[in-house]
């Protein structure tokens, strides 16, 4: 009996010693890779360009200015502030060179009306969902416009600065750290202006604009 007890004790001692030498098993989970982060806050700059048109059928029907159209391109600078994890407020300035024009004939004079540059300073409010920003914007706009009148082979010109308002919205997508693409629609109304020593009124300059752009975020 004593021999059996001694044998059992010896076996238990050997098993215990062997178990102590085995490496401890780890039950910790494998690390999970962090997803990409999208930082919309702060300063950004960019380039943009697009197409603009005016569709005033009543004016165009009588040969007056109401069907201006053409392209534009320029730059953007802005600043965003995240007020909640999903809500953004910002301010943005844009300026573009343009060639948006129309010709109207009032015999014996041919008129060419050309918007040569325009821009805006707007506030933005947007909803952020990861890499996507959906926003609305509105503010003040301005345009440099030139009228040229030609008759009997002679041409006279006058240029004026129009000031008005603009509003619209767009979508912006952050496709890489610090880089985003945007698509945007704005309606711009620059208002009436007197040309040639107050002898000619331009009528309201109203433009629909669509644009695309790319921004770099600092």
**178 vs 4 pLDDT, higher one:** 178
Per-residue 3-state assignment (H helix, E strand, C coil) for the chain: CHHHHHHHHHHHHHHHHHHHHCCCCCCCCCCCCCCCCCCCCEEEEEEEEEEEECCCHHHHHCCCCCCCEEEEEEEEEEEEEEEECCEEEEEEEEEEEEEEEEEEEECCEEEEEEEEEEEEEEEEEEEEECCEEEEEEEEEEEEEEEEEEEECCEEEEEEEEEEEEEEEEEEEEEEECCEEEEEEEEEEEEECCEECCCCEECCCEEEEEEEEEEEEEC
Domains and CATH numbers, the chain: 42-217 (2.40.160.20)
Residue 25, pLDDT above cutoff 90: no
Stated pTM of the model: 0.78
> What's the chain's average pLDDT?
85
């Amino acid at each position: 009996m004593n021999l059996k007890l001694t044998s059992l004790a010896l076996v238990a001692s050997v098993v215990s010693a062997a178990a102590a030498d085995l490496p401890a098993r780890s039950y910790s989970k494998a690390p999970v890779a962090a997803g990409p982060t999208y930082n919309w806050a702060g300063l950004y700059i960019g380039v943009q360009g697009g197409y603009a048109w005016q569709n005033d059928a009543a004016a165009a029907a009588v040969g007056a200015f109401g069907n201006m159209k053409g392209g534009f391109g320029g730059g953007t600078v802005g600043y965003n502030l995240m007020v909640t994890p999903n809500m953004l407020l910002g301010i943005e300035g844009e300026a573009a060179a343009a060639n948006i024009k129309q010709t109207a004939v009032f015999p014996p004079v041919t008129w060419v009306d050309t918007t040569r540059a325009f821009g805006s300073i707007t506030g933005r409010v947007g909803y952020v969902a990861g890499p996507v920003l959906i926003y609305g914007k509105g503010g003040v706009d301005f345009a440099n416009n030139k009228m040229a009148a030609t008759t009997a082979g002679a041409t006279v010109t006058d240029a004026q600065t129009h000031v008005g308002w603009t509003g619209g919205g767009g979508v912006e997508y952050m496709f890489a750290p610090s880089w985003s693409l945007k698509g945007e629609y704005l309606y711009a109304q620059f208002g009436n202006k007197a040309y040639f020593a107050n002898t000619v009124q331009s009528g309201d300059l109203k433009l629909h604009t669509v644009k695309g752009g790319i921004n770099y975020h600092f």
